[in-house]
Copies of this chain bind each other. A is one copy, B any other.
Amino acid sequence: MTSVIDGKAVAASVLEECRAEVAELKAKGTVPGLAVVLVGDDPASHVYVGSKVRTCADLGLHSEKIVLPAETTQEELIAVVQRLNADPAIHGILVQSPPPKHIDEEAVVRAIDPRKDVDGFHPENVAKLALEDPTGFVPCTPAGCMRLLAAAGVKTAGAEAVVIGRSMIVGKPMALLLMAKGSDATVTVAHSRSKDLPAICRRADIIVAAVGRPEMVKADWMKEGAVVIDVGINRIDDPSTKKGYRLVGDVAYDEVAPKCSAITPVPGGVGPMTIALLIKNTLQAARQLG
């Protein structure tokens, strides 16, 4: 009996929590505000930003979508960030990734006031995550994975968790969250240089796949009854579809799912959580900024 973890439903329930928090904040005189900055005209980025702004509107947050031309200089972008840092109507600032190549993304992230860094990528928030300081902002994707585990009733304490991938966007923060006091998992971080990844995964009670390789994790990589969180979203060619491609995760879903106790689908698993946690972080920022 495999339970399919419904990311849309869990995200919706997080957003309902957020709706209540927005009402509380408004009752205290604060309208939480999120600014999303987009440089250039990447169509996928426009779709993401559009849905963030719509979610804000639906929940009663103030939001600003700031679209800058592709030729915007780094100085100009940082000037926009600094204006937003100083704007009391804005509690969360997000610069949509990836920016055009002439922009140093790290420098832009450092320019964001860490108290408004709702993406959780500023070094100050990276440190707070490692130091288990709850005033920091946790990156949205790993925070979303933790919510999915909780929603599925997965006990992390003492469990063997294997995180595949060591990026600062997902792998490392995910490992830090799982090993933190209160979560208390025994965490292994595996990656492209790991030997015998299948054997490493087979000892896991919880697998988090975040490598960006389509359908890499196979059924024989898994212990019967494990929980699988699939962070990957990969396009693979599929001439049978209208678009000519379909989306698959890092996990070979069809063969893996029957062996799992619970698994997230792609799409509809981790994906929908990201916006929900972004809103959650924005409300945290609004509360902390007072």
Interface, chain A (partner B; CB < 8 A):
123-124, 126-128, 130-131, 157-160, 166, 168, 172, 175-176, 179, 184, 186-191, 193-195, 200, 203
Q: CB-CB < 8 A to A128: which residues of B? A: 123
Q: How far is the CA of A189 from the CA of B176 in the complex (A)?
A: 10
Alpha-carbon separation in the docked complex, A203 to B200 (Å): 10
User: Which 3 pairs across A and B sit closest by C-beta, in order of nearness?
Assistant: A123-B127, A184-B193, A126-B127
A126–B158 CA distance with the chains assembled, in angstroms: 26
CB contacts (< 8 Å) of A130 on chain B: these are 126-127, 130, 168, 172
Cβ–Cβ < 8 Å partners of A179 in chain B: 166, 172, 189, 191
Contact status of A187 and B186, CB under 8 A, knowing A127-B124, A127-B127, A172-B130: no
Q: How far is the CA of A189 from the CA of B189 in the complex (A)?
A: 9
Q: Is the CB of B175 within 8 A of A186?
A: no
> Which of B124, B157, B189, B195 is close to A187, meaning CB atoms less than 8 Å apart?
B189
With A157-B193, A184-B193, A189-B187 as given contacts, are A168 and B131 in contact (CB-CB < 8 Å)? yes
Cα(A193)–Cα(B182), bound, Å: 10
Q: Which of B123, B168, B189 contacts A186 (CB 8 A)?
A: B189
Chain B contacts for A166, CB-based, 8 A: 179
Please tell me if the beta carbons of B186 and A191 are within 8 angstroms of each other in the complex. yes
Is there contact, CB below 8 Å, between B194 and A158? yes
Complex contacts, A131 vs chain B, CB 8 Å: 123, 126, 168
Chain B residue with the shortest CB-CB distance to A129: B130
A-B contact pairs, 21 of them (CB 8 A): A123-B123, A123-B127, A126-B131, A127-B127, A130-B130, A130-B172, A131-B168, A157-B193, A158-B193, A159-B195, A166-B179, A175-B175, A175-B189, A186-B188, A186-B190, A186-B193, A186-B194, A186-B200, A187-B188, A187-B189, A188-B188
- Nearest-neighbour CB distance to chain B for A174, whole angstroms, equals 12
